[in-house]
Structure formats: C-alpha cells, structure tokens
Structure 1
Amino acid sequence: MSIARLPDGRELYYERVAGPAGSDAPTVVFESGLAASRSFWGLVQPEVAAFADSVCYDRSGLGRSPASSGPRHAAQLAADLGGLLDHLGAGPFVLVGHSWGGPIVRLAAAATPARIAGVVLVDATDELCEILFTEQVRKAERIGQALTKWLVRFRLLGLAYRRPTAALPPGPRADIRREGFTPAVVRTRAAELASVPTDLVALRDNPTALPGIPVTTISGALDSPGMPRGTREAATESHRRRALVSTGGRHVLAPKSGHLVPLTDAELIAAEIQRISRAQPIADSSA
C-alpha cells in the first residue's frame, strides 16, 4: 500500500505487485473505467506478476484516494496518471486502460511518449465510435446515473454488482464491495460522466498521436447490460479501426466477455500485455 503525491499536493493511493526478480519487462500500470477503483484489476494483476512489475491505483475520489474538487475532464485525469508515472520512476511503462480508462491512458501516453513501451485498450471508449455522439447514448447515460443514484440511496448498488465481482480474489472483492458503492463514489461518477461528451468531442477534433508506440485493442465478444447488439458492434468496429491507425496495431476479441473484460478474460488481457511488452508485431487476430 503506497501513496503518490501529485504536484498540487493531492494524493493517489496505489498498490504495486512485484514481478520476477531480474525481469527487464516494462512496468504495467492499470487505469480503470468510469468510477472504478484499482480492485477491478484483481484478477489481471496476479497474472501479470508472472512476468512484470505492475501498479493499480485509485483516481481521486475513488477507492482510497481522497476526493478532489472541480471538473473531471479526461485531460486532467491523464495529467494525474502522468504524475503517478513521475512518482514511479523513469519507466518504461505499458499502460492498460479499460472503458473510459482508454482515453485517459492514450492522453497520458501522448504527453510523454518516450517512456511508454505500449498501450493496451480493453473494451475502451473511443471517439471513433460514432454512436457515442448521439442523443440516444446521452439519454442512456442520464438514466444509468439516475438508477445508480437510486440504488446507492437504498444500499442496493453493491447487490447489483455482486455477481460480476464474485470472480475477484477475496482481497480485491472485499475492497470493491466496501469502497466501490458509496454515495461519494456516485458523486465522483456523476462528475466524470458530465465531462464525457465534451471530452469525446475534444478527442475527435484533436486526435491523440502515439507514434512508435505499439497499441493493442481488446473487444468483448458478447452483448452485455448497457451494451446491446448494435452498440456492441459499433464499439468493436471502433476498436478495430483504432488498431488499424496505430503503430503495430492489433485487435483481439475476448470470447468470454461482455464489457467487463477484466472480470471474465483476465488471462487473455495478461497475455496481450506480455506480448506488447515484448513488442512482437502480429496481424489482427479478429480478421
């Protein structure tokens, strides 16, 4: 259990798991999705420990990291991730982002590309997905946030996630159930969600360039709550396109997964992290 202090004095809580002694693999840093804590990677991090050091952390206002005021735009969250990387050392790093963590790690990688050995995007939000700019999606976001607020008010939010989080090891499972379903987290979720529309437009109008950095995209292969067939197909296509426009781009389907890939295809994610750490160029496996 460790704390990184950012330049403005804020603190980020993180957990580092050591890899094999003498390993020269890049340090792997995980970024969770919307309002998710470090514990979400509880199945993946032990797999990565077989070949590399790894770090899971809590964004401000999540898990054990104190809340911060003001907007939660992706650029600010990426700057916080950059501050964590500064604290961890010179690198190199492989950055892994799930869902809304995808844009965050892309922005952080673009800010200091020299220390980034690779990026793995796990069912990531991507501005190449045109459906994300529609009123249909904004309405779904508003309904989802209202439902989340209602569930936490009546202490039912944890029950709604009990089944998917049951796969986690005991420690991360206990942490996520204790820390992840509180009114404070719902407020942080609302702040992050409020910034998503303008952040998507900014990403579309000012594309992030990752020259020379290998990128792997992973898509869930199954429909899931909040991601019905049409949305699933559009998201997967955006992941395929992201791989096509990226250095050494590789697109992989996670056969057992809907959107929550880290909870259902942990070994696949770890294998892709190991592959990109070795920078082995391989053709698109979903073609």
Structure 2
Amino acid sequence: MTTRSEPTRHHVQGTPRPVHLPDGRDLYAMELAPRLAPPTVVFEAGAAATRSSWALVQPLVGTFAHAIVYDRAGLGRSAPDPVSRTLRRMADDLGALLTGLGTGPFVLVGHSAGGPIVRLAAADAPDRIAGLVLVDPSDEASAILLGRAFRALEKPVVRTNLLLARAGLLARLYRPMLAALPPDARDDLRREGFTADLVRTHLAQTHTYLDELAGFRDDPPQLGGIPVTVVSGTRTGSGMTARTRADANAAHAHRAAASPAGRHVLAPNSGHYIPLTDPELVATEIRGLVEAARR
C-alpha cells in the first residue's frame, strides 16, 4: 500500500532563497514572484525585527513585483556576524545581497532603523536603485532621536528586553503585532523574534548606530535623483508622544523634500508599526515606484 506525500505548504512570504555573502556568511531570505519583470523590491526590517515584520506588505507587492525579505545577520534565521553590527556593516551586507540578485534595478523599502540602512546601500550604487520607500524611518534630522534623553534610555530598554527574552516573556509585549500577522509568519516570529540571541544583536547595533546616524548630518548618503517616498505614522503610542511624533514627521518631510522626486505620505491608521496597520498604503507607494521604473 502506498501513501501520498503531503503537499508542500505555501508560505505567505514565499520560498527560501540562498544568500551567500563574499566573506562566507549566509543570510536567510524568502522571495515571492521571482519571474516578474524588474524592478525587484527588497525589504529591510527595523532594528530588532525579522523578515516576518513585512508579512502583510510583501504578499501584496508580490502580486506585481519580485519581492524579497531577509533577516540581517543575528536576526531571525540568519547566523550572527562575528564583526560588530555597525550601520556601515549592515548596509554592506544589503549591498552584497543586491549584487547576488543581479544588476537590478531595485526598489528598497526600509522601516524604522532600516531606513538609514537602505539609504546608505542605495548611495553606494545609485545606478541600480529605482526608488526608496522609507517607512517611519529613523532620520538624522530628528532632534529627539539624536538627543541626550533618547540615548540615555536606549541601552537600558534593550537590556531589559534581554532579561525578558531570557525569561521567555518578551513576546508578551508584542501580542498585538503577533495577532496581526498571517498564521505562518506569526509562528515564525514566535520562534525567532524574541530570543536572547536576537536581543544581543540589537544591543550590539546600539553601540554605534546613533553615532553613525548623527554623522549623516555632515555627510549624508548621496542619493542623486533617486525617487524617495517617506511614509509617516500619524498616531502616538509605542513609545511615541505627540511631541516625538511631530519631531519625527518633520524630519520625514525634510527627507522627502531632499529628493527631486520626493513624496511625504501620512498613514492615517498608524503609529510606528505602519507595515502592520497600513500595509495596503505601503504597497501602493511601492507600486508607484515600480510602475515608474517600468515606463
């Protein structure tokens, strides 16, 4: 008697794609719609976020473009990096990933701390970049983000998260995020998104990230004519008061205005986690850049 094998279950974020870096490290990536015409859309997650944070946006984009998510080194399923996790190092990894995908063009999408990463990677090779979508990004024009109070709080907060992760309690703080995700991405995030190793990677990033971002004030990534769309949240919460929201959105407006084809878009349903609360809006802004690149 023969038995039929179980059918392969389709994951909402697609199929794994190997990413081999020049120094021998591997990153974990997943892709949707690889046969669609360029440009390819590549997503960069926030400071301590994995590819699962894009699980509502990426499938929408996969209906009209090749869409790739990945885990930075030390996050999700990607192995830790033996070298310090500087902004420069993270942008170099993204650049190597893009090179492995081909000549482009690419639309890069970065949320929160991923915003400066995609800006720096784009400036390294602007000819292959068709556009940037920065989703509630960290930005050097923000006085509060680079101020003394935020710097004083950042590392203690991350160290507290490390204690919670070791105790198996960190996921409880992110129940609304988990509830918003499709079941398979939710399961991935539960397993991979709240580990002590992940928080240690986040802590390593905090050692230099804000200093490097502050350096952008004097020497910003040069994006030339790359179109830049900046999507801002409009609501408070997740640590953002009315004052910090206003400061962030002013910085976002400044960033959009610096691009000759810049757009500043407000997400009406969102605080900081726009990919979870306004995914259709983010996908629409990505579609605009993809279609412009195809014309």
Q: 2:237 aligns with which of 211, 215, 224?
A: 224
AA partner of residue 248 (structure 2)? A
Partner of 1:284: none
Instruction: Normalising by structure 2, report the TM-score.
Output: 0.91
Structure whose CA Rg is larger: 2
1:153 aligns with 2:166: yes
Letter in 1 for 2:286: I
Report if aligned partners of 2:155, 2:203 keep a CA contact under 8 Å in 1.
no
How much has 1:235 moved relative to structure 2? 0.4
Corresponding position: 1:185 with 2:198? yes
- Stretch of structure 1 that moved more, 7-16 or 140-149: 140-149
Q: Percent identity?
A: 51
Does 1:262 pair with 2:275? Answer: yes
Matches within 5 A, 1:35-50: 35-50=48-63
RMSD over aligned Cα atoms: 1.3
> CA shift at 1:225, angstroms?
1.9
Q: Counterparts of 1:121 and 1:49 in 2: how far apart (Å)?
A: 18
Q: Distance in 2 between matches of 1:220 and 1:68?
A: 32
Report how far residue 130 of structure 1 moved: 1.6
1:109-128 alignment, distance < 5 Å? 109-128=122-141
Q: Look up the match of 1:102.
A: 115
Aligned length: 278
Q: CA separation in 1, counterparts of 2:144 and 2:176?
A: 29
The 3-state SS of whatever aligns with 1:29 is strand
Identify the residue that residue 7 of structure 1 maps to in structure 2. Answer: 22
When structure 1 is superposed on structure 2, of 225-234 and 101-110 the one drifting more is 225-234
Runs of at least 4 residues of structure 1 off by over 4 A?
none
Contact 1:165 1:263 in 2 (8 A): no
In the alignment, is the contact (CA less than 8 A) between 1:26 and 1:93 conserved in 2?
A: yes
Gaps in structure 2 of 5+ consecutive residues? 1-15
| Preserved contact between residue 233 and residue 272 of structure 2 (Cα < 8 Å) | yes
1:55 aligns with 2:62: no
Q: Is the 8 A contact 1:27 1:54 kept in 2?
A: yes
Q: In the alignment, is the contact (CA less than 8 A) between 1:45 and 1:54 conserved in 2?
A: yes
1:169-184 to 2 correspondence within 5 Å?
A: 169-184=182-197
Q: Distance in 2 between matches of 1:220 and 1:63?
A: 25
- The aligned counterpart of 1:81 is 94
Contact 2:46–2:113 (Cα < 8 Å) also in 1: yes
Decide whether the 8 Å contact of 2:47 with 2:202 is kept in 1.
yes
- 1: CA distance, partners of 2:215 / 2:86: 10
Give the drift of 1:193.
1.5
Aligned to 1:285: none
- Asked if the contact 1:35/1:192 (under 8 Å) is kept, the reply is no
* Contact 1:214/1:279, CA 8 A, preserved across alignment: no
What does the per-residue CA deviation read over 1:129-169, in whole Å, with 9 as the maximum and x for residues that have no partner? Answer: 12222111112213321321221122110111122221111
Amino acid at match of 1:252: V
- Please report how far the alpha carbon of residue 25 of structure 1 lies from its aligned counterpart in structure 2 after TM superposition: 4.2
